[in-house]
Amino acid sequence: MKNKKTKIFSLVVIAISIVAVILSAYFIDGPEKILQTVRQAKAPYLLLAAFLMFLFWFFGSLSLNSLLKVLGAGLRPIDAFKVTMTGAFFNAITPSSTGGQPMQVLRMKDYGLAPGLSSSVIILLIIINNLVTLILAIFSMIFSYKNLGEKLFSSVLMLAGVFLSLIVTFVITSVIIFPNKSKKFMVKVVRFFNKKNPDEKIKKFEKQIDSFYDSFRVFKCEGLYKLLPCAFFVALQNISLWTVPHVVFSAFGAVTTNAVLSVCAACLVALISGFVPLPGAALGAEGAFVSIFKPLYTNISSVGIVVILWRLFTFYMPIIVGAFFCINFKKEVEKEVEKNE
């Protein structure tokens, strides 16, 4: 029942965001400007934007597999890609992109990987992603301050994004740094939500937790330098995604003085919108995009059309493509949910 309500909520939010973006483009830019912008569209740039999204997923699968290989549990490239697409799909349809990681753990279980091992890899991947994003975001803030940060609203949003990302990274990292306290806390949470036969659930959960921390000990023994390939792939993954706005603007003949500045702006938009508690950061992402990108480009008739296409590539495309990889998997998820209810 809860699962159905979550699905309905996500669909409603996505539908509202689509209507809101289309209506805002219509009323702000007007039909004449929209048609003029559409006529200017260059197909090769749009194909390049789609290819950049493929690179985003491809580098995501490489980052995942690089961590698994450190534990001697690498997946086939196609299976790693399926796990990545599963995460992309469920991240897109859940608030604050929180649904992807549990589903990736469940998907890896299908390939014979223990939940404890998979969980440790996914959590470490989140930490590495947050740290790499923070480093790139700080660089982006310094590089783009003169163009973007001088506006009070933009600078407050940037600082808020960095601050929230630091908090999330600290909370996740503390699970690794303080294993005993974290384990006690998580056992209490499991006991609270499982009033019937809690001991059986806790015993199973503790086994997974022990496997989880064993995997982290392996990472520590192998040497943290072995995490560098993952960090490199995560950086390439993010840069691929953040290049999409510039390519979409270019498709409509828009001009900017600095393409690197555009990538930095996309990094800041991602950082800000990542904490909007709605599926796909609906409405928040669009607002941040317009406020940061509009001053950067000239010779563009309708920014609204650019926003629609940017969302099409970076939000709706993962849902459409990800759904293809989750056709059979969704049935397994529903069975798993029914077991735990």
What letter does residue 75 receive in the DSSP assignment?
A: P
Top-confidence range, 27-31, 103-107, 242-246, 276-280: 242-246
More confident residue, 204 or 3: 204
Q: Please write the tens of the pLDDT for every residue from 41-81.
A: 788 988 999 999 999 999 999 999 998 888 888 788 999 99
pLDDT tens track for 87-125: 888 887 776 666 778 888 888 888 888 887 888 888 888
Cα→Cα distances 304→69, 287, 310, Å = 44, 11, 10
For residues 48 and 247, is the Cβ–Cβ distance under 8 A?
yes
pLDDT in tens, 305-318: 788 788 888 888 88
Say yes or no to pLDDT of 83 above 70: yes
In this structure, how many other beta carbons lie within 10 angstroms of the beta carbon of residue 210?
13
Helix, strand, coil: what percent of the chain each, to 5?
85, 0, 15
Q: Are 117 and 67 in contact (CB under 8 A)?
A: no
In total, the chain counts a number of residues equal to 341
* pLDDT band at 12; cut points 50, 70, 90: low
